[in-house]
Structure 1
């Protein structure tokens, strides 16, 4: 007999270590997830194009110019406001030192926990005609209702102010990170050449941070076009409110689809701009030899002014709304412990928890497939999966309702004609279709958190696991997931809170008589029962503080 050992075990082990082993199932799952994310966009486009020219002509002659003009104006106002607040606050807490700067570094992030529509309820209660501000003004002066002018909170400007207060932290976080990474060399060179501090800021520091700032502003703008609760409550007619009105009030499915297509086109344009800006940001050189910027100490009036400027967004974006909501909630007749409210809480938590698990699971599959098999197919799947963050919830709702309603109605008609059995609506109006909409909307946020942790796992760990006989899924289960547990927890929290706050998709797609805290708050506010709306709003804010606390802890470690 030959002394040469059998090669069969060696070949079997080699087959186990092949790079493609175990990736077919992963590839299929990633493709399915990408197809689900692409479905609402394709469905909206097909439904809009099949609606005929009469509908779009009617829209162009009636509401389309108004929707486009109002949405564009709102976008410009929010972009300018978030830029001013976010960049100004980031520069002050990063490049200067004054009493309380460490406090403001963290608290400037707090408004991120608030949905804009919650701020709208709080400030309407305070600033509207029967509110405490105008009532006190009339009591002190003796004026009548027509004897003075007061800014109208229920207006386009009021909606822009609410959105600016809750969205500026996007710009603040990215701008602060960019300022921290800058070297003092170029800034000091500009000062040595005679430029003032302001001139050096506008000519040197601001252009260097431009990609990060532009990315933050674009994120705020995309959240603005997706907002429904604020503009609907203030009576501001944008594309988001137009879609809801066409779908429910007018029962015009074709009109809703064509309006959704217009909004989708604008959102995808913004997504491409944000991707381009993010791509440019990576070219900035942050070599170790660079000299860190030395913070300037502010004293006297300058320190007081810095405290005021940093305190204004914290006061009006977090502190005052919490105080107002608490006072409104205590004066309401809503009982959080009643069976009705416990049902709202249970529905909200069930939806949010289910959507968080499904969304993070999808992010793991797509993200790990992109790492394990880099190439055009995996990159395309990841790119399509990220598009959902740029698509408003109302557009996703219309895009999913159209094809699945068609499927349900076709199946029901066939079952009736063949077996004389009615199947009803199997998918449309179900919790799982709503969870699918949440996954499409928030998959990008989950992938961002997952990929941030995945980048910390060295590639040689994958190679070591494969050399020891682990399949791709075994490597994911036994190596990646234990290491990525903190990142996965962060992703779960982010998606959980985003689903708790989400309103337009929930309003359109929720099952019959299945209300959430967000829906209850919107309904009470629509009925002008603002004190009652404060109670579910406070619960949403309290839950929203969880990921914000995590972000605050991360901000505190950045120095």
Structure 2
């Protein structure tokens, strides 16, 4: 009886909105499932070699980056969030938004910038030798190592933790912290015994973002020579020309991702973090004076200089040396490719996100939860895995469609999908659907259901209600979702490197190619263009968030 009732309810809800949403979820899930199928496929000789001699090093390298970067990025992000929320000190209001600017700098750009600056002929060692007659022991301050990769990834990923923890502490922590202060908790006691425990959901959310970014990273690890599962996928694909072995590596990396998910859920299986709406008042910061105020300002300033000012200033200096050579029609074409590709993919993402978020709003709890997870699963999957899956699926579709290609006069054995821009855009859509979807879903959560119900009562159908009532109220969320998704796609490197057509290059791919070829100074101008696009997007997001809090 219950199954029959469930079937009847599903038939009632199976409309255009639902079909499009399920189609989007299937598109996202298909390449990922295809990659996982690599676990049960027969292994070739290359895979046996990789498994016997290399896999252990790849796994250990990935674990080192995840553990150390996760610890340091989370520590810095939480401490900075608590400082700017819990206390007042010089430049505190400025640091509240300035410490999010490092998100505009792709880590792979920071990697080659710092590597060049700290090398023997770089600015730092040259200045110490020539100006102060100080000889630096070889390898002392150079960053071309695992330690350097942790340093770079920490500096340019901590804003994820900082942003989420800051928002949580501003909106959810006031009652707990003020009561703790009344009970006599001082600074360190308050931080370790109250702030950290109540911020655990936000800290874990930020940490998970950092972990996913580290596992997805290819640019920093490859440039610094760190063996990770992500770099192994590229090496197997491009050096051995073995897509099957690359798919097996991607499948094992997926197993690691799933394991992290399961572990995180298990560790907080019995934890509840609920705060009543009456408690959601802003936290009143306490003033710091003397050495404490100086220390807070100095710590924030050091992090800001290292994670934004120093690399950007160095890139500007290098760009002035190569400006005339690099400013050409080719650079304009790269910029247009980056902007157009990101804009098209973002537009598709927002269309699917709008339709899916509205479908979730009208569904019962568990189907809605399932659809939400399916739509956002791509962001937790490293770009290299998605690229492998998309390529494999497109090649399979090309095989199925080959008779159609032949009938259209395109020739035998044509690989149309797997050599077209469609494949790159599909990779972007799958990887970054979560960014657009979460923004739209948040917007829907703020719209009372009574608005839609009133429109339906007045005779408006689902489409009319959506376009005349819900869509105007979602404008702010749509703009936020567009900016968030757009900037992520513009900076994306692994998917772009693996899936771009031969005649299609972007700022991210060209910048990294210059760096790999040791043409560091020539990479400066496209890097600045990439950072400039990202910076404008970040500033737009900060302005939108500031207007929401007024």
Q: TM-score, normalised by structure 1?
A: 0.90
What corresponds to 1:138 in structure 2? 129
Contact in 2 for aligned 1:360/1:491 (Cα 8 Å):
yes
SS in 2 for 1:389: helix
Contact in 1 for aligned 2:88/2:286 (Cα 8 Å):
yes
Contact in 1 for aligned 2:89/2:297 (Cα 8 Å):
yes
Residue 269 (structure 1) shift: 3.4
Q: What is the 5 A alignment of 1:122-133?
A: 122-133=113-124
**CA–CA distance in 1 between the matches of 2:291 and 2:410?**
82
**CA–CA distance in 2 between the matches of 1:471 and 1:279?**
41
Contact in 2 for aligned 1:21/1:472 (Cα 8 Å):
no
Pairs aligned (count): 541
Aligned partner (choices 429, 432, 448) of residue 458 of structure 1? 448
1:266 is aligned to 2:256: yes
**CA–CA distance in 2 between the matches of 1:306 and 1:260?**
43
Change (3 A) 1:279 1:353: farther
Change (3 A) 1:276 1:474: farther
**CA–CA distance in 2 between the matches of 1:333 and 1:273?**
50
What corresponds to 1:33 in structure 2? 24
**CA–CA distance in 2 between the matches of 1:273 and 1:101?**
36
Q: What is the 5 A alignment of 1:62-461?
A: 62-140=53-131, 149-183=139-173, 186-187=176-177, 190=180, 195-271=185-261, 283-288=273-278, 293-333=283-323, 337-412=327-402, 421-422=411-412, 424-461=414-451
Larger displacement relative to structure 2 (470-479 or 342-351): 470-479
The structure number with the bigger radius of gyration is 1
Contact in 1 for aligned 2:173/2:198 (Cα 8 Å):
no
Which ranges in structure 2 are unaligned for 5 or more consecutive residues? 1-8
What is the CA deviation profile of residues 50-82 of structure 1, one whole-angstrom value per residue up to 9, with x for unaligned ones? 142755543221111001000000001111111
What is the CA deviation profile of residues 414-450 of structure 1, one whole-angstrom value per residue up to 9, with x for unaligned ones? 9769999426112102111211111110000101111
SS in 2 for 1:84: helix
Contact in 2 for aligned 1:44/1:258 (Cα 8 Å):
yes
Contact in 2 for aligned 1:438/1:499 (Cα 8 Å):
yes
Larger displacement relative to structure 2 (190-199 or 395-404): 190-199
What is the CA deviation profile of residues 437-477 of structure 1, one whole-angstrom value per residue up to 9, with x for unaligned ones? 11110000101111111112110111122223322222222
Contact in 1 for aligned 2:39/2:252 (Cα 8 Å):
no
What corresponds to 1:517 in structure 2? 507
**CA–CA distance in 2 between the matches of 1:242 and 1:155?**
17
Larger displacement relative to structure 2 (176-185 or 110-119): 176-185
Change (3 A) 1:464 1:282: farther
Aligned partner (choices 508, 529, 545) of residue 535 of structure 2? 545
Residue 353 (structure 1) shift: 0.7
Runs of 4+ in structure 1 over 4 Å off: 18-23, 53-56, 140-145, 182-195, 271-282, 289-293, 333-337, 413-420, 554-559
Residue 186 (structure 1) shift: 4.5
**CA–CA distance in 1 between the matches of 2:537 and 2:391?**
31
Q: TM-score, normalised by structure 2?
A: 0.91
